[in-house]
């Protein structure tokens, strides 16, 4: 299989719609997808899983944010783009503070490689960064961001994942694991 050059069909401040062609077994195929515009970092973005012990019980930080493509509030985790010159941990610390007001007490782990949200739709790569949460201060939400954050325990997570709510796929999987093993973060 070989890839041919990418052609930008439409561009906005943050996204490009592109077309590429690739050859498989001598036949040429065309594919359309979305790519990040002007983001040179790899990974492009981070997803932050924040945890904290409250009364000796582990809690996980979730967010609820309106998402226009699904015209609904999505349950997820704090996330954001890695800015040029940042590493994923620096981006995670910045985004967590901006979106939720939480400071990072310590970094627990991070995914070793870039991961892909939906490789059939976009080339956007992410990295998970797992952190222990410190103190909470004021948020610094930007533009249209309307983000509510809450700390939930495993029982609440177990109940939440059974609801007919709109979840980010990454969030649902992590919450399912947390609901079934609340000590998975080794706090």
CATH class of 45-180: alpha beta
Pair 98, 79: CB distance under 8 Å: no
Pair 112, 24: CB distance under 8 Å: no
From first to last of the 187 residues of the chain, give the pLDDT tens digit: 556 678 999 999 889 999 999 888 989 899 999 998 877 778 899 999 999 999 999 999 999 999 989 999 999 999 999 998 999 999 999 999 999 999 999 999 999 888 998 989 998 999 999 999 999 988 887 778 789 999 999 999 999 999 989 999 999 999 999 999 999 988 6
Q: Show me where the domains of the chain are located.
A: 2-36, 45-180
CA–CA separation, 129 and 92 (whole Å):
7
pTM to 2 decimal places: 0.90
Q: Which two tokens stand for residue 68?
A: 């226009």
């Amino acid at each position: 299989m070989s890839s041919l050059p990418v052609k930008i069909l439409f561009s906005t401040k943050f996204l490009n719609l592109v077309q590429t062609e690739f050859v498989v077994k001598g036949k040429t195929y065309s594919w359309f997808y979305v790519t990040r515009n002007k983001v040179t970092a790899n990974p492009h973005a981070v997803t932050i899983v924040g945890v904290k012990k409250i009364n000796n019980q582990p809690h996980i930080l979730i967010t609820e944010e309106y998402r226009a493509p699904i015209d609904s509030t999505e349950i997820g985790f704090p996330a954001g783009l890695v800015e040029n010159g940042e590493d994923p941990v620096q981006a995670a610390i910045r985004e967590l503070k901006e979106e939720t007001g939480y400071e990072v007490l310590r970094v627990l782990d991070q995914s070793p490689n870039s991961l892909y949200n939906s490789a059939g739709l976009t080339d956007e790569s992410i990295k998970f960064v797992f952190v222990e949460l410190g103190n909470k201060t004021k948020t610094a939400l930007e533009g249209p961001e309307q983000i509510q954050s809450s700390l939930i325990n495993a029982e609440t997570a177990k109940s939440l994942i059974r609801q007919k709510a709109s979840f980010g796929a990454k969030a649902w999987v992590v919450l399912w694991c947390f609901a079934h093993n609340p000590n998975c973060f080794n706090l």
